[in-house]
A and B are shown apart, each in its own frame.
Chain A
Amino acid sequence: MIAVFKRELISYFKSPVGYVVLAFFFFISGFMFVNQFSSGSINMASEIINLRSFFVIIVPVMTMGLFADDRKRGTDVLYYTSPVGLLNVVLGKFLAAFFLQFILFINVFVHMILTAACKGVIDSGTWGTVIVYFFLAALFISIGIFASSITDSQIVAAIVTFVGILLIQLISVFSTMVSKLFAAILMSSLFRMESEKAGVICSRIESAIRWFDPFSKTNDFSYGIFKVSSLLYCLSFAAFFIFLTYRKLEKKRWAKG
């Protein structure tokens, strides 16, 4: 696993991908920090929350080549022939992408140091958003890795990851839309339900859909509330997508056999 991790991490910096991602992230975070600095008030939690919106761009670029590139080159056969277990290959690639997130985040740590140097506040909400950032990163990277494993085209992998993350970011919007749609249907002449009853049903539907939204689940961290269940949610679904990737690769082994 460590060998795969090292190889993948180094490969980020042997191609322009790592540098482009770093440059983009540093520019965006720098812009946010300077904006706050010039206004005389720096809330690092806001900066980190805003940076999470860019997962939808950064993660597809980071993960698109992890498996798709090997498949395209035909080097994926090494997964099955090398002494490294398949799960270790998946975990190694996942950790390499995750470590790249740490490298990206160094920039934010520098901003935090600058804030502290200017007698700004780094409170529990800030640390909460830092923790959530990495758990969400783990979840989205696992989705990206899975997307990369199902195709030999990096572009397709990136698009699938982009759409996946975008859909997750829009879950709360969908939940409201679905709830309003149900409310309209239930109160229409077809069902003639009282507005209060319809409201209760629709708010439950909304909550049920929103339960899957990792952003809503982890919102409270930015106010200084730490919820183990929210972190477990991110971690368990990250594990699920890693497992899916493993099964996808494993399939090739017995399908060939």
Chain B
Amino acid sequence: MKNNIVKEEKRIVSMRLFSLASIIIALIIIIAGNILFDGILGDKLSFDLTSTNQNSITQASVDMIDSLPQDISIRIVGLFARPETIKGTYYEYIVPLLDDYQARSGGRIRVEYIDPTTYPSIISELDPSGDNGLSEYLYVVKCGDKIRVIDPVDDCYTYDQDMYNYYGYNVATSNIAESAFSSAILEVTGDISKKAYFMSGLANSDSHEQLSLILEAMGIASEDLFVSDEISVPDDCDILFIVGINSDLTERAQLALTEYIQNGGKVIVAVNYADNPGVSFDNLNLALYNVDLKIEDFMIMENDPNYSVSSSGFQSYVVLSSEFSSLVNNNTMISSYMRPVTEAGNPMANILTSDILLTSSMAGRSYYDSENDMIMTQGEYMQFAVARYGTIQGVSNPPEVYVFGSTDFTSDNFILRYGNDISNISLIRSIIRQATGVSGNEVVASKPISDYSIDYTKISSTSVNILTICLMVVIPLTLVVLGVVIYNKRKNL
């Protein structure tokens, strides 16, 4: 009997040990299994199922990262604690994207989140000189001594410009985070061997930050060239931009530009009409005369309904000429408030000019009548060139001048509104490549953001009231009543 009791106790103890051991082993297996699975297959069995691959890097970025040396080390530091809830914030499309950069970089890119309020020394560690004005909530891309700062709000999204202009708040239309980070990685790792200058100080109507980013992605640094009494185009200038100017060149600037063109300079000019209706670009035209180009003093009004975008005729489609059609896939572009670019009548035989962008053959002239404050139209319908190219043949270092009668190919406003992969910007990128000889990387396209708006016609106070009554009153109350009835019926069972 006693033996049986001892046996029973032994059995219970062994069962208890077995039970405890099985629980511990199961827990270890589960944790170890999860860690192993996460480490080995976690990234491989992770799928970005968004229709526009918002959260994963595109092949262009993968190729760019693959082309980097194996031993390079790039830090992407978010100057804040890793955000927990990112849905509906600016970080929604950035945090998962950066995780993908890290996962697909083969150890070359490390993404960190360091809050400078907890670790203040991180600022001086990343930017010892303090030149970059680092502060909380920014991202820093660092490789060696080079750093690039990315603002999640300003640099990672395009916004609906109409909403901003009319209502004063930002509505993101597309995500350009990948473009910003890939450009930054290229900038901090790459050999920037080319340099672009932007002529500034001529009442420029628009900034050129977006164009500068595009140039950086192509390995071209950019700097402003302020128009002064001593202006001359620097020797290291590979391409000169005169974009968005609203006043004519000064005489000194015209001489500097003429000299630059005569020495084989590469120039891109872009002006429109709406921002400077009363301005004649006489000095600019004087410099452009060297390549037989001229910007006219009137505006194009498109009369062909197939080309018109707006009813006014001042925003319309323009078509790439056959000579330049190989530069981009889509030959039709959108443009507004255009000045025509024509031949200047330079008799030199070795000048070659060609059309780049053309209107329909039903376009007309219009101009602003300041006395009556109205747009006047005149003359017959014809086809205009909105952009032209001029060069001089038979010289050792031929100039290349591209003149656009619209700023819809270079301006921040346009890029922020339509994204950086629209054909206008593809064209300007191809032209920059052609002029400077850089190979450049494929641009990372902007990715449109889902718009969760519903059909506004369905929203009325009646429909809201019906839904409120049905979903929040009738159904829950019915269920509560049912519960009470069931309880009363069964409470004595």
Q: Do A and B come from one complex?
A: yes
Chain A residues at the B interface, C-beta cutoff of 8 Å:
13-16, 18-20, 22-24, 26-27, 29-31, 33-34, 37-38, 40-43, 45-46, 49, 107, 114-115, 117-121, 123-125, 127-128, 172, 176, 180, 183, 194-196, 198-199, 203, 211, 216, 219-220, 222-229, 232-233, 236-237, 239-240, 243-244, 247, 250-251, 254-255, 257
Chain A residues positioned under 8 Å from B50 (CB to CB): 123-125, 223-225
* B87:A30 contact, CB within 8 angstroms: no
Chain B, residues 44-74, CB within 8 Å of chain A (1/0): the string is 0111111100111000000000000000000
Of the listed stretches B31-39, B255-263, B432-440, chain A binds B31-39
Chain B residues at the A interface, C-beta cutoff of 8 Å:
8, 11-12, 15-16, 19, 22-23, 26-27, 30, 33-35, 37-38, 41-42, 45-51, 54-56, 81, 84, 86-88, 92-93, 96, 112-114, 118-122, 125, 450-456, 458-459, 463-464, 467-468, 470-472, 475-477, 479-480, 482-484, 486-487, 490
- From known contacts A203-B112, A223-B54, A232-B34, infer whether A34 and B46 are also in contact, taking CB-CB under 8 Å: no
Give which listed residue, B8, B41, B122, B486, contacts A199 with CB less than 8 A: B122
Chain B residues positioned under 8 Å from A180 (CB to CB): 118
Chain B residues positioned under 8 Å from A23 (CB to CB): 475-477, 479-480, 483
* B23:A26 contact, CB within 8 angstroms: no
Chain B residues positioned under 8 Å from A30 (CB to CB): 467-468, 470-472, 475-476
* A119:B55 contact, CB within 8 angstroms: no
Chain A residues positioned under 8 Å from B84 (CB to CB): 172, 216
Chain B residues positioned under 8 Å from A229 (CB to CB): 34, 37-38, 41-42, 45-46
- From known contacts A14-B490, A34-B472, A244-B23, infer whether A19 and B30 are also in contact, taking CB-CB under 8 Å: no
* A119:B455 contact, CB within 8 angstroms: yes
For the complex of A and B, list the 4 residue pairs with the smallest distance between their C-beta atoms, beginning with the closest. A30-B471, A19-B483, A224-B50, A16-B483
Instruction: Give the CA-CA distance A15 to B86 in the complex, in Å.
Output: 40
* B120:A128 contact, CB within 8 angstroms: no
- From known contacts A15-B490, A223-B54, infer whether A38 and B459 are also in contact, taking CB-CB under 8 Å: yes
Give which listed residue, B26, B48, B477, B487, contacts A15 with CB less than 8 A: B487
The winner among B125, B452, B456, B483 for most chain A CB atoms within 10 A is B452
Closest to A220 in B: B96
Chain B residues positioned under 8 Å from A220 (CB to CB): 46, 55, 96
Instruction: Give the CA-CA distance A24 to B472 in the complex, in Å.
Output: 10
Nearest CB on A from B156, distance (A): 15
Give which listed residue, A24, A121, A216, A237, contacts B450 with CB less than 8 A: A121
Chain B residues positioned under 8 Å from A127 (CB to CB): 49
* B487:A196 contact, CB within 8 angstroms: no
Instruction: Give the CA-CA distance A182 to B456 in the complex, in Å.
Output: 52
* A41:B49 contact, CB within 8 angstroms: no
Known interface pairs A23-B483, A229-B34; 17 further A-B residue pairs with C-beta atoms within 8 A, sorted by A's residue number: A19-B483, A22-B479, A30-B476, A31-B472, A41-B452, A118-B454, A119-B455, A120-B455, A124-B51, A196-B125, A220-B96, A223-B87, A225-B47, A243-B26, A247-B22, A254-B12, A254-B15
